[in-house]
């Protein structure tokens, strides 16, 4: 099988590799024609104790039935992949990716879920109904089996300040002194503990090297984890955002209309988020539409607007399936570097736990530190990163990588190796099918990952 080989250079000239649509199709065809290993999958639910609360966490482990077939990477350890979904999802959102990686390459793949996102009330894990109910109440997380956030714990609010990007946004605002407020305040810590525990349990350090991937919103959380688990050796960053503080600068740059080009450019009215810690964002069909519009523009140009009814039919039809996934978000504090709200969440949690001033200050530092790399004595370096972007990505343009993201990684001490592969096909949800690409650009992306892992790209020198 032919692979896309990442460039191993820090120079600006050699940082980008472009893969033509024809080459992407060729690699995909070869990848899908290769034999599949027999694999098993197993859901595991475990409970973590974080910030004085219990949280039920769900993951699925995919691996060859014959575990002796799990391959060895360039560093001499078995290859393990830890996946995180994006803002819409749970582990089921990454099921096709996980099955391909396990069946084609033999990796052990652990697919995680943000705490609260898994529908623990039904074995199917499909959420019932819609995110906004006919009576005006909304869907809320299930952080612990048997525990539900009731409508008396929140107020439903709407916001129109970012309509150019999101349309009309709906939130559930937690009322003071409720379990909902306590859970939202503690959730940034719970995300870190949940991911770390899952990796330690399913991809132990003595046996595996871990390569992490978080789609879209999952990206900043995986970058945050990249120094916090001892055997994470690389970041596989296709269509995912970077550390929260870098993501903030990316959106500031895009919103400035500076040098951005093409459909990835955000609206000139874009603004940075200032979400309070005690608000839950409720997604709707609008979140599907904001990607569909940019992708149609990239494929068809302005004439895409001439078939707006058709586009909206596709959006609404797609939402009928998408609404089975959780479709709510509370992680913007980390992913958009909203440090003021992170500090407020830390102080709320500290007060609930009865911490003194020194312990409260330490907790604030811990929360705020979730948005950027660790530094100083005793910290692990940021591992090498293999970025990838699709041709019609809404939020990831080559320009923003060259002007903002790569320079910010280069400024780290020590700087990781970073490269960008620009696939001339695909969209933000990179496994979405299109002509000649039944799994989107995912097969070509995964081929580049395998070549990098086995070829030593992630081995630190």
Closest among 300, 264, 290 to 434, alpha carbons compared: 300
Instruction: Please tell me whether residue 282 adopts helix, strand or coil conformation.
Output: strand
Q: What is the pLDDT of residue 461?
A: 56
State the pairing for strand pair 328-329/279-282: antiparallel
Under DSSP, the state recorded for 38 is P
Q: Across-strand partners of 388?
A: 238, 421
pLDDT score at 298:
80
* Structure tokens, 317: 């039809």
Q: Do 100 and 27 form a contact (C-beta atoms < 8 A)? A: no
- Residue 121's contacts (CB-CB under 8 Å, 6 or more residues apart) are 142
Length reported for the chain: 461
Q: What is the pLDDT of residue 271?
A: 56
Q: What is the pLDDT of residue 304?
A: 87
- The runs of H, that is alpha helices, within 15-155 are 21-33, 95-105
Residue 295's pLDDT is 82
Do 58 and 28 form a contact (C-beta atoms < 8 A)? Answer: no
Which residues neighbour 378 within 8 Å (Cβ) at sequence distance 6 or greater? Answer: none
Question: Going from the N-terminus, what domains does the chain have, and what CATH number goes with each?
Answer: 16-128+193-279+333-455 (3.40.50.1820)
Give the per-residue pLDDT at 97.
Answer: 98
Q: What is the rounded distance in angstroms from the CA atom of residue 366 to the CA atom of residue 368?
A: 6
In sign, the C-alpha dihedral spanning 29, 30, 36, 40 is negative
- Do 226 and 232 meet the contact criterion of CB atoms below 8 Å apart? yes
Segments in the chain below pLDDT 70: 1-14, 256-271, 461
Predicted confidence (pLDDT) per residue in 310-363, tens digit: 999 999 999 999 999 999 999 999 999 999 999 999 999 999 999 999 999 999
**260 vs 424: CA distance, rounded Å:** 18
pLDDT at site 259? 41
Contact 380, 227 (CB under 8 A): yes
């Amino acid at each position: 099988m032919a692979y896309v080989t990442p460039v191993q250079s820090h120079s600006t000239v050699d940082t980008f590799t472009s893969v033509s649509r024809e080459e992407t199709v060729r690699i995909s065809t070869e990848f899908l024609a290769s034999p599949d290993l027999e694999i098993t999958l197993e859901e595991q639910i475990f409970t973590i104790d974080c910030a004085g609360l219990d949280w039920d966490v769900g993951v699925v482990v995919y691996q060859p039935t014959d575990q002796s077939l799990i391959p060895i990477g360039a560093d001499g350890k078995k290859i393990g992949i830890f996946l995180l979904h994006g803002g819409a999802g749970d582990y089921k959102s990454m099921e096709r990716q996980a099955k391909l990686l396990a069946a084609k390459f033999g990796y052990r793949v652990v697919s995680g879920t943000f705490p609260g996102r898994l529908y623990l009330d039904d074995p199917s894990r499909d959420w019932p109904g819609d995110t906004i109910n006919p009576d005006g109440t909304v869907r809320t997380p299930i952080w612990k089996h048997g525990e539900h956030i009731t409508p008396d714990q929140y107020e439903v609010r709407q916001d129109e300040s970012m309509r150019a990007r999101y349309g009309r946004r709906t939130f559930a605002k937690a009322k003071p002194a409720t379990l909902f407020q306590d859970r939202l305040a503690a959730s940034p810590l719970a995300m870190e503990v949940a991911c770390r525990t899952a990796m330690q349990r399913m991809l132990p350090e003595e046996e595996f090297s871990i390569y992490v991937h978080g789609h879209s919103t999952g990206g900043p959380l995986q970058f945050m984890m990249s120094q916090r688990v001892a055997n994470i050796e690389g970041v596989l960053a296709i269509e995912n955002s970077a550390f929260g503080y870098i993501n903030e600068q990316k959106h500031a740059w895009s919103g400035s209309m500076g040098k951005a080009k093409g459909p990835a450019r955000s609206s000139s009215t874009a603004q940075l988020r200032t979400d309070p810690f005690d608000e839950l964002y409720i997604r709707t069909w609008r979140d599907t539409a904001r990607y569909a519009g940019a992708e149609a523009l990239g494929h068809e140009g302005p004439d895409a607007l001439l078939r707006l009814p058709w586009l909206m039919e596709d959006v609404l039809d797609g939402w009928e399936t998408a609404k089975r996934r959780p479709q709510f978000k509370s992680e913007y504090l980390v992913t958009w570097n909203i440090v003021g709200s992170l500090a407020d969440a830390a102080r709320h949690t500290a007060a609930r736990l009865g911490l003194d001033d020194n312990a409260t200050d330490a907790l604030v530092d811990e929360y705020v530190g979730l948005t950027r790399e660790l530094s100083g004595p005793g910290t692990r370096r940021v591992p090498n990163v293999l970025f990838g972007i699709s041709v019609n990505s809404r939020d990831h343009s080559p320009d923003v990588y060259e002007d903002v993201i790569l320079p910010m990684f280069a400024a780290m001490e020590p700087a990781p190796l970073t490269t960008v592969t620009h696939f001339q096909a695909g969209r933000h949800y990179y496994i979405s099918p299109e002509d000649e690409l039944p799994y989107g650009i995912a097969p070509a992306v995964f081929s580049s990952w395998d070549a990098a892992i086995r070829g030593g790209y992630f081995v630190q020198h």
